[in-house]
Amino acid sequence: MAKSQHIPQLEAPGSGLPPLELLIGKVGFALYRSMSSHQGATAGFKSESQQLISLAASVSEEVGRQRVLIKRVMGIEDNSRFWSVFMVLDHLLIADRLTIKIMESLSMEKEFTQEIRIEDIKPQPARGKEVIDEFQCLIKDYVLCLEKITGWHSKQYHAHPWFGPLNAHGWHCFTTLHHFIHRRQLYRIIKTLSVSH
Q: Mean per-residue pLDDT for 7-35?
A: 93
CA dist 197 and 45 (Å) reads 32
The residues, ordered by sequence, that sit 6+ positions from 78 with a Cβ below 8 Å of its Cβ are 10, 11, 15, 72
Question: The whole model's pTM is what?
Answer: 0.93
pLDDT over 90 for what percent of the chain? 90
Number of other CB atoms surrounding residue 74 within 10 Å: 12
Mean predicted lDDT score pLDDT of the chain: 93
CATH number of 42-196: 1.20.120.450
Q: Mean per-residue pLDDT for 109-137?
A: 94
